[in-house]
Copies of this chain bind each other. A is one copy, B any other.
């Protein structure tokens, strides 16, 4: 009897784990609990590269005007924190679309208020652009040097509750169907063109695993405190004056959007330019906008500058492959990460040797990222940061992605080129990551289960 009960219990547990693990795309029970096994948070002021604790430590960074930078990755940005390999960091990831509904997404949260603060006489962050994302960081990874690989494990993502007590238990997000969207020149109805903001509500008590739209409005010209008028969404952090827009209530009534909490933009500082627009992704990661970049995954980044200089932002409650209209459900999340540094010398002979692009590992798969240009900063010369927005296409992105996947399999799984191409074709999937970020993306997915019975290269030792 006991034995039978035990077997049943195990079957329940294993099936349930398998269910959660494989559900992925339409996960009905996303992990919303605080992860266990992570050390308690210590004072960030106590860490430096000079001394390393015997045990990994855990620090937290609250999102506020002096912990974020807005619109760029930069090798010159002063770090807000230095950590060692194996350390944990909990970061606020503050959405750059919070101004679409100040009351729900800014008001009452002093950190977010400090970021968005803008009056005729002062501005919390006046240095915005050339991109749009509010990025928390950078975090300096001690001992990281060009040629190393930085593994960033996403251990937890939680919706950041609205700071406004009127919206207790709720988190809000905005989807902007904007001028940079793929759909923008393909509107059937008037007015044409138009930009549309749809505000979504997320329950942050863990009771509901889907988002619902609550209202939408069409963008009207907005005037910022500097007196400039913005006929379109052409500047980051505009606070929309809701007396100028007409809210359409009850949009998408009865429609449930499955939550897919993930991070749109995170990465390390590129070496090619001092200020790099946060919008186009590249070898350094950045705004990849891959909806698989969620809890339980690790992204590997090639370190380009000393200390790596990791930053993250652009949190998403949900997004489909392509990010068609220009944005996800842009929201604020709290993320917990572990950084693991793989030194260049330790990569030799391992599965990760030669990885010079952002590589995502999920519990079930390896996901390789291709772009129109693998490194647009290098390929397009001095004007790269403007040119990239004129030349994007999915065809070269698939070329880049399939080449990377071939090379990954040839090295990591010890395949010949003939074997690699055959396997990619019959067992690998290519999806459209995004077509709205300048350097368009395609990701290639190769299931780990295919290699269970094959001797493959080892993983690297971590420092």
Contact = CB atoms under 8 A, between A and B. Distances in A.
Interface in A83-132: none
A186 B325 contact: no
Contact of A424 (B5, B22, B320, B451): B320
Given A26-B449, A255-B450, A394-B394, A425 B15 contact: no
Contacts of A301: none
A186 B26 CA distance: 35
A423 B345 CA distance: 46
B324 A425 contact: yes
A422 B198 contact: yes
A177 B429 contact: no
A430 interface: yes
B393 A425 contact: no
Interface in A1-31: 4-5, 8-9, 11-12, 15-16, 18-19, 22-23, 25-26
A177 B432 contact: no
A366 B425 CA distance: 24
Contacts of A452: 256
B427 A318 contact: yes
Instruction: Indicate the member of A9, A189, A432 with the most B CB atoms within 10 Å.
Output: A432
Q: Interface residues of A: mostly helix, strand, loop or mixed?
A: mixed
A216 B418 contact: yes
B8 A418 contact: no
Interface stretch (A145-153, A264-272, A326-334, A348-356): A326-334
Instruction: Indicate the member of A182, A251, A327, A418 with the most B CB atoms within 10 Å.
Output: A418
A425 B19 contact: no
Interface string A212-225: 01001010000000
A419 interface: yes
A263 interface: no
- Count identical subunits in the complex: 2
Contact of A325 (B213, B320, B421): B421
B196 A320 contact: no
A329 B423 CA distance: 10
Interface stretch (A46-54, A279-287, A373-381, A395-403): A395-403
A415 to B, nearest CB: 7
A192 to B, nearest CB: 10
B324 A421 contact: yes
Contact of A426 (B12, B328, B395, B427): B328
A439 interface: no
A364 interface: yes
B255 A454 contact: yes
A443 to B, nearest CB: 10
Nearest to A364: B26
Contacts of A159: none
List the 4 closest pairs (A to B, CB-CB), nearest first.
A254-B454, A15-B15, A394-B394, A321-B429
Given A19-B22, A189-B416, A394-B395, 12 more contacts: A15-B15, A175-B422, A175-B426, A182-B399, A186-B402, A187-B417, A252-B423, A255-B453, A319-B425, A319-B426, A324-B402, A329-B426
6 contacts: A186-B399, A251-B419, A255-B453, A325-B421, A329-B426, A393-B395
